[in-house]
Structure 1
């Protein structure tokens, strides 16, 4: 009796998937539908059957002198797979064939359309690709127009697309005529967790995530120092891949704060348990790009499952959810003074109420709805005639 071959699925991500919580959740779904090969930086994720590793030092954008010149001259067709990481990925893939390719972020689309086997292509755009880092001048002048070209060239041809929220989905629809489905950054429901009792006389603040410029971690450190006795801040940070000067400066700033403690990074599936003993999750992101203005980040959902109250800077999507679910407070601005003043107004009853609200919302704001969207996409792609 001939055994039916499982579908071959290629998952492309120009990240280290082992610390990329969104792609890790995606892989758990993909593994139910076929034999999964990952193509990324770093080691093979646990859910993958096979792995193609891109050397960490190779950038995923055309940063060579020739590549930069071609970007400046708008010669996008000749540069779209010339970025060192994409060129090496093409070489490593060779003539391997796949039935489905999942391209994580728009920058992976030119590569996805060159994979052998006439695969169905699902692009998980994550956020708004054309203006990902437009607060950086070189990115704004060279990369942003290229990413806009990639989206215009390839998005109308994909078989499925997803993004993190309705605001960004509408932006893609308005500009490129493609309405992505919404897969939020929500994580699995943690029924084993409940609001933790507060430490007597101390409010424990916490922040987790990448230690990269623009995340405004310094404002949270400033805030806890301004708040003074009775407040602590714990940071669970992932250093930037380059181990750059920003990370060294941030470490020095943390060392100078008597109320701030830096911890090693925690695996995504361990975060809710690790964060649970704290009281307030804090995230203050200035709106430097559209992605910042319309953010709905992993840490929002991490804080919910950890049963924490929230202190967030103003942002359209998180403002709405925090207000609707009564999960916490929104600061008036993005400085340490704004954060400290907002937290100082909270009493113990307020914090307890926020933590209780997070507990009540935890199942509603879990990933079950998003997994249903992903499974529906894969069902359609596998049923579609080739």
Structure 2
């Protein structure tokens, strides 16, 4: 098998390809790399990125892992993805049916064995064992891109320990470890004795910002003086969304309304608890169309709570989407979020743990028009600094050293 010395194979355990992976692929292709993304199968036929190869689950490679995955795909089609029953079923599956270390290796091995790249990338911890296996087989350099502090999600203690054991076993074999912010980089270095973990933000592109227009005002018939606070993303449990919706009952400023842009498990219940004249719901849109809507708001909100260490250290995609769209940001006081918002003076962070506290924070956020204007003015500069164009330079430099 001939090795293409400038080729990269990126592995992901997801069906929908993360924006970070696609931006990385774009940047590496522009720098002269041949990029392939190997991902889980889709549930239905749809247009896919030309670089994506889906793992095959044909009868010729039937095994226990395929049967578990087929069962999971069937259940996923009948139960809400992040519902309590689905989360319980996934915990039981990891405990009794599958081994976290070998499960994805067996699923991906047939497809990945076709490639002999110069660099193999494990996007998140589940891909690290199979990436190490492929790297050993073809002499490839190994990159671990940790999109979050994976073992510190809201798992059972048993799952956390097992994922941490897997990370400890393989992380030292990586040529490069990359993650999404400095807090997670520092934690990985402290836990596993690795050094020089690289930080690449999940930034958005700064170029070609859509023209700002009042789309939400048009869609919902809002008066011109209404100020739109925007929540966008998946409406799933554990994101403090119920508190945000309830907080709008207590907001004193009559000009502030909340627009929720997205779909998910909680959509129906959030609609039931929302005040009709203060909270408005807009369906989710494709990623490529998102910023054109984001810019129609006056500000963005991130109400996440530190329910686990992973959430405490989070820098969610919406943070960078709001920056790219030039929106001042209201957010919970979490370390990395505070570092960007307060450090760059582009918004306000504070206590959003209860509806009453969050409503006070919202009123404070909109109370000073001069301060608000300064945040927006600062964003004109910040969006040129905290953007994919800048992160891309760091990424290409990392991979250049691996050639």
- CA separation in 2, counterparts of 1:140 and 1:310? 32
The alignment covers a number of residue pairs equal to: 359
- Residues of 2 paired with 1:381 and 1:140: CA distance? 37
Which blocks of at least 5 consecutive residues in structure 1 are unaligned? 72-77, 134-138
Q: Which is worse superposed, 92-101 or 289-298? A: 92-101
Q: Which residue, 81, 87, 90 being the options, matches 2:102? A: 81
User: Match of 1:29?
Assistant: 27
Give the alignment's TM-score, normalised by structure 2: 0.79
Q: Give the 5 Å matches for 1:286-365.
A: 286-345=305-364, 346-365=367-386
Equivalent residue in structure 2 for 1:367, among 372, 385, 388: 388
Q: How far did residue 206 of structure 1 move?
A: 0.2
| Shift, 1:380, TM fit | 1.5
TM-score (norm 1): 0.82
Describe the superposition over 1:52-101 as per-residue Cα deviations: whole angstroms up to 9, x where unpaired.
Answer: 46778459x99597852488xxxxxx75113xx54322233344433221
The runs of at least 4 consecutive aligned structure 1 residues that moved more than 6 Å come to 53-56, 194-199
- Asked if the contact 1:205/1:279 (under 8 Å) is kept, the reply is yes
SS in 2 for 1:173: helix
CA distance in 1, matches of 2:39, 2:53: 11
What secondary structure sits across from 2:204 in the alignment?
coil
Deviation, structure 1 residue 309: 1.1
Give the distance between the partners of 1:250 and 1:99, measured in 2 at CA.
48
Q: Which residue of 2 aligns with 1:230?
A: 255
Give the structure 2 partner of residue 219 of structure 1.
243
- 1:161 and 2:177 aligned: yes
Q: Take 1:64 and 1:282, find their aligned partners in 2: how far apart are those partners?
A: 31
Q: Distance in 2 between matches of 1:207 and 1:196?
A: 17
- The answer to whether the 8 A contact 2:39-2:53 is kept is no
Cα pair 1:223 1:340 within 8 Å, conserved: yes
Could you tell me whether the CA contact under 8 Å between 1:24 and 1:45 is conserved in 2?
no
Superposed CA offset, 1:143-162 (max 9, x none): 11111111111110011111
- Secondary structure of 2:351's partner? coil
Q: What aligned pairs does 1:1-386 form with structure 2 within 5 A after superposition?
A: 5=4, 7-18=6-17, 20-32=18-30, 33-41=32-40, 42=42, 45-46=48-49, 48=51, 50-52=53-55, 57=72, 68-69=95-96, 80-82=101-103, 85-115=104-134, 116-133=137-154, 139-179=155-195, 180-190=197-207, 192=209, 200-227=224-251, 229-239=254-264, 244=265, 246-253=266-273, 257-345=276-364, 346-382=367-403
Q: Which digits, 9 at most, give the CA deviation of each residue in 1:319-370, with x for residues without a partner?
A: 1221222211112232222221122132433332222221221101112332
Contact 2:344 2:382 in 1 (8 A): yes
Partner of 2:82: none
User: How far did 1:295 drift?
Assistant: 1.9
1:202 Cα deviation from its structure 2 partner: 1.0
| Kept in 2: contact 1:40–1:53 (CA 8 A) | no
SS in 1 for 2:202: coil
The Cα of 1:15 is off from its aligned counterpart by: 1.8
| Unaligned ranges ≥5, structure 2 | 58-68, 77-86, 218-222
Secondary structure at 1:377 match in 2: helix
Give the match's secondary structure for 2:402.
helix
State which drifts further: 327-336 or 171-180.
327-336
